[in-house]
Amino acid sequence: MYPRILLGVTGLIFLGYGVYCWIDPEQPAKLAGLFIATHNGYAEIAAMYGGLQASFGAILLASAVLKGYLRPGLWLLAICIGTLAAARGSVAFSNLDSSFRLEGSSLGIAMSSGFTAYTWGALAFESLVALLALYALFKTRKQ
């Protein structure tokens, strides 16, 4: 039951966000800190943030309900969202400015970056979903 719920909920999130981005490409662009300069840019954001995410969500939903598609759907979720998290994380963590200082007996660590809650939230969501998909794959391997 858990793997189907994971695929279903994640599928609904991607389908819903994809449709939203397809209808209004400016919103995801603003959230990501992007400026759409041309009509081609609107088409690209609508296609990649809208169409691709909506279709990915629909595939996950189908995998949640169609017999025989549970494990392939989990593999798709783990690989696609895992590599998305890896790519986002490789940039986000490589551009952190960190400093260490020792005051008295405590170590102070300060970290800062130019990334917003959008990037950190997306990275947390992607990482969690990929790990949950891998766990579900492990739990369903004998079924």
pLDDT of residue 7: 97
Task: Note the pLDDT tens digit of each residue in 61-103.
Answer: 999 999 999 999 999 999 999 999 999 999 888 866 655 455 5
Task: Note the pLDDT tens digit of each residue in 26-37.
Answer: 998 998 888 899
Split into its structural domains, the chain has a count of 1
* 4: DSSP letter: H
pLDDT of residue 104 exceeding 60, the answer is no
Host H or E run for residue 10: helix 2-23
pLDDT of residue 143: 54
Type of residue at 4: R
Residues 6 and 77: their CA atoms lie apart, in Å, by 10
pLDDT of residue 100: 47
112 falls in which pLDDT band (50, 70, 90)? low
**Residue range 8-20: average pLDDT?**
97
Query: CB under 8 Å to 27, separation ≥6 — which residues?
Result: 20, 21
Type of residue at 112: S
Higher pLDDT, 140 or 10: 10
Classify 39 in phi/psi space as left (phi over 0), alpha (psi -120 to 50) or beta. alpha
Range of the domain at 26: 2-139
